[in-house]
A = this chain, B = another copy of it.
Amino acid sequence: MSVLTPRPSAYPSRVSAEPARLPRTDPVVWGTVDDGPLDEAALARFATSGYLTLDQLIDRDEVAALLREVDRLAADPALAGDERLILEPGSGEVRSVFELHVLSERFAELFAHPAVQAPVRQLLGSDVTIFQSRVNRKPGFRGREFSWHSDFETWHTEDGMPRPRAVSLSLALTENRSDNGSLMIIPGSQRTFVSCVGETPDDHYRESLRNQQYGVPDEESLVALVEAGGIETVTLTPGSGVLFDCNCMHGSNGNITPFGRCNVFVVFNSVDNPLEEPFGGTTPRPRFLAAR
């Protein structure tokens, strides 16, 4: 393990023995109503809650075509053993496929479509690049929980994303119900940066894709955020999606229902927010996790 030298940052994390809640010094909404399709109410909702649902972003046929494309990628012999395919520990089934925008023309077209790009560019007030994309296939009956976390905490510390000027889209290809481990968001949490305790081992990303151990917010901070904003479960019909700010505190419960979930996840970063050296001093993670 290398000796890590964290860099100074307005969003320090994993550098102190004590957690802290720091005010976000950057805007949540960077553009204006003149910049795109979202109206004042939608922009205000995103600024306040940190997320926004987009109903029926794609139609049923496109949903079916994307599900077939996911199956094709998961079964592609050329991708066997590729680190962009994450396998279920027990069964060896493909749980996630990363870098969809590189591996699949169809997904690249989807992510470049104006219906997707225009609201994202408006929220970020600039052109955007894809920072990461993936599809997650969460099984029914034994879907595992995902603890509370801010994506930006990781992307800043481990990937060198300087400011919280990135937006994620989670697009449902199957139903996201209130009972099958859907995304839970703490509304308003995007305005607070929770500085986490601990260090970051170098090259730990392979393990962390399975089991989050670093950048874990403290329970006192989570209680404070929930007391202020509550918790909302984002339910989605197939073809609908949710845009959420990169610093939203979010997570998901496990899932014992028979209803699995298949969601496409793509992160857009502002072109004015290019990645630097990781603020945690670690070696940059590979391109499929953080495109530079």
Contacts and interface: CB of A to CB of B under 8 A. Distances in A.
Contacts of A257: 184, 226, 231, 253
Interface stretch (A58-66, A85-93, A141-149): A141-149
B251 A253 contact: no
A258 B141 contact: no
Interface residues of A, number: 23
A219 interface: yes
A147 B145 CA distance: 14
Interface in A240-259: 251-258
A141 B233 contact: no
A222 interface: yes
Contacts of A256: 145-148, 184, 251-253
A4 interface: no
Interface centre among A145, A147, A148, A256 (most CB of B within 10 A): A256
Interface in A146-193: 146-148, 178-179, 181, 184
A233 B178 contact: yes
Contacts of A228: none
A75 interface: no
Interface of A: 141, 145-148, 178-179, 181, 184, 219, 222-223, 226, 231, 233, 251-258
The 4 closest A-B pairs by CB, nearest first: A254-B254, A223-B258, A253-B253, A145-B256
